[in-house]
A = this chain, B = another copy of it.
C-alpha cells in the first residue's frame, strides 16, 4: 500500500493521540470527517494500523523493574518455550534474533525476586543473560517518514 502525505499525517497524529476525533484530524489535514474515517478504516483493514492502544507508566502501576533477557534456547525447546512465555504476563515482548542468542525479551515485574523466579523457570529451556533496565532515554518514539 502506498501512503500519501495525508495518510502519513494521519498516522503521526494518531500516534500522538489515538483518541482524536475524525473531525479534528480532518481540520488538521484539510479533509472532511467522513473522508478521514474512510482513510483510517482502510489503514486498519490493510493492517498498517494494528491496534489503537495506550502507553502505560508501569512504574506508577507498581511494576518498577524492567529487564532485558537474552536467551539461548536449547535444541528442540523453541516451540515449547514460546508457548510457555506467551502465557506469562511478565513477558512484555519477545524477539527472535540472529547472533549468539536466539531470543531477546523484555520483561516487566514488580520486584527483583519475581525476576529470580522467572529466570529459574527459564533454565529448563535454555541459558539466559539478564540486564536490568535503569532508564529508557527513548521509549516508543512516534514514527514518521521525514522525507518527501
User: Which residue of the partner chain B has the closest CB to A20?
Assistant: B52
Interface string of A5-19 (1 = CB under 8 A from B): 000000100111111
Q: Check B56 against A138 for contact (C-beta < 8 Å).
A: no
Copies of this chain present in the complex amount to 2
User: B51 contacts A55, CB within 8 Å?
Assistant: yes
Taking a contact as CB atoms under 8 Å apart, the answer to whether B52 and A56 are in contact is no
Whether, in the assembled complex, A131 has its beta carbon less than 8 Å from a beta carbon of chain B, the answer is: yes
A76, CB-defined interface residue at 8 Å: no
Chain A positions 109 through 129: 1 when the CB is less than 8 Å from some CB of chain B, otherwise 0: 000000000000000000001
Residue A27 is within 8 A (CB to CB) of chain B in the complex = no
CA–CA, A16 and B52, complex, Å: 7
- Contact A54:B141 (CB < 8 A) given known A60-B47, A96-B136: no
List, sorted by A's number, 26 A–B pairs whose CB atoms are closer than 8 Å: A15-B53, A15-B54, A15-B56, A16-B51, A17-B53, A18-B52, A48-B56, A49-B56, A50-B54, A50-B56, A50-B57, A52-B52, A53-B55, A68-B95, A82-B137, A86-B137, A86-B138, A91-B138, A93-B136, A94-B137, A95-B134, A96-B133, A98-B132, A99-B129, A99-B132, A108-B143
